[in-house]
Structure 1
Amino acid sequence: MTGPGTGGFVGMSKDPAEIEARIGQWAQGLAEKAQRYQAAHVETEQIRLTATSGDGAVKATVRADGSLTDLVFSERIRTMPLPTIASLVLSTMQRAQADIATQVGETMAEHLGDEDAETRAELLGNLRERFPQPPDEDEVEAADEETGKKWESIESSEEPTPPPATSPGLSAQSPSTGFQPPAGFSPPAPPPQRPAAPRRRPDDDDDFDEESDPLRD
């Protein structure tokens, strides 16, 4: 019998009893190795990594595969613009994910020792490539602050839309009663106003006749 993992059988004597004993030892070694790998797998599935933003506004928890399991916001989040919140959530998740390769490597070393060092190195290298170290938190906060200023500038530049002008008379629909006039209805025109009579001044009475004054004696 030749091939990977069967080097112990090369040069083995032809004694049937010895062959059977060697095969039993080999099978037992495979079973024990499988148990160690299973234990490492179970413990890896239970790994949870948590990171909190520097200001305490966001706390994120991830699994060993990088998926999010929990996300907690503090009251500080209420005063932040939406772009800042999104950026803060992503950066906090990345900080939690950055420790996945280290934690998985420690778990495998605990259960497997130095077994399959090449395979484990390749696995951990893939994890480090998927979940690299995030940028420095000061850089993220500076970017968030700049994004918040741009957001506030956009909000302050937005002016409220003035209400549409309405003409005197009946409106298309009364806001208090909800009355809807029939199709083709137009409000009646207001009645014309008579011009006011001009006021007479005392000096305009040029034709006043003192002889006809009834109060004269």
Structure 2
Amino acid sequence: MTSAGGLGDLIRDPDDAIRRMDEWAAGFARKAERYAAAQQETERLRLTATSPDGTVKVTVGADGVVSDLVFSSRTRTIPPEELSRMVLETMRKAQSGITDRVAEVMGRSLGDEDPDTRAVMLDSLRNRFPDPDPDPADQQDGPDAEPEPPAATPPPAGGAARPPASPPAPGGPASPPQGRRPGGIDPDEQDNNPW
């Protein structure tokens, strides 16, 4: 397919054809430089979030990968499950800012160039790194909703929360449960406990 004027115009005026190709190549080179600059600036981005109480601070890059993790001395008093939750929530909070920061870089470097490509890329980032604190009004029960944990089963009537222990063997002390040593030490766990 040829543009208005067609191939015949290029053949009739080879100097004009060369000038047009040079302009096109120079424009393409300028565009490539702008994209390379945007990519370099994006790769240097670092986003940091801190937990509300200041216990955990997480820094991520534009790809969402954690580049720094800092704990305050308060972590010694926090149960491991709660600390894990705090780290993940703080990491997601840092990651949720990636889309806006990349959009700023692209706006500065590329202006209004390639809006469709930019929209696809930013939508992809929004899907990968959503806002960790969505508005509760936006939450809906659906097939992807996590089920609530089952309620605790009350102990049977009579207050026995465990099945009764087996009676001791006649003439000897009770043997420890199978697979455990006296004192409740599991032989498989004895050497693996880091504490």
Q: Same fold (TM over 0.5)?
A: yes
Selected match of 1:69 from 67, 88, 96: 67
Matches within 5 A, 1:1-217: 2=2, 10-11=4-5, 13=9, 14-135=12-133
Structure 1: gaps spanning 5 or more residues: 3-8, 137-164, 166-217
Structure 2: gaps spanning 5 or more residues: 135-172, 174-195
Q: What is the TM-score when the length of structure 1 is the normalising length?
A: 0.58
Following superposition, the deviation at residue 47 of structure 1 comes to 0.1
One-letter amino acid of the structure 1 residue matched with residue 85 of structure 2? S
Q: Distance in 1 between matches of 2:21 and 2:76?
A: 67
CA deviations on 1:56-112 (whole Å, 9 max, x unpaired) are 000000000000000000011110000000000000000000000000010011011
Q: Distance in 1 between matches of 2:83 and 2:120?
A: 35
One-letter amino acid of the structure 1 residue matched with residue 63 of structure 2? D
Q: Distance in 2 between matches of 1:134 and 1:95?
A: 6
More helix by share: 1
Q: What is the TM-score when the length of structure 2 is the normalising length?
A: 0.65
Following superposition, the deviation at residue 10 of structure 1 comes to 3.9
Percent identity of equivalent pairs: 52
Aligned to 1:128, the other structure's residue is in SS state: helix
Q: Give the length in aligned residue pairs.
A: 131
- The structure number with the bigger radius of gyration is 1
- Give the root-mean-square deviation of aligned CA atoms: 1.5
Q: Distance in 1 between matches of 2:118 and 2:47?
A: 20
One-letter amino acid of the structure 2 residue matched with residue 50 of structure 1? T
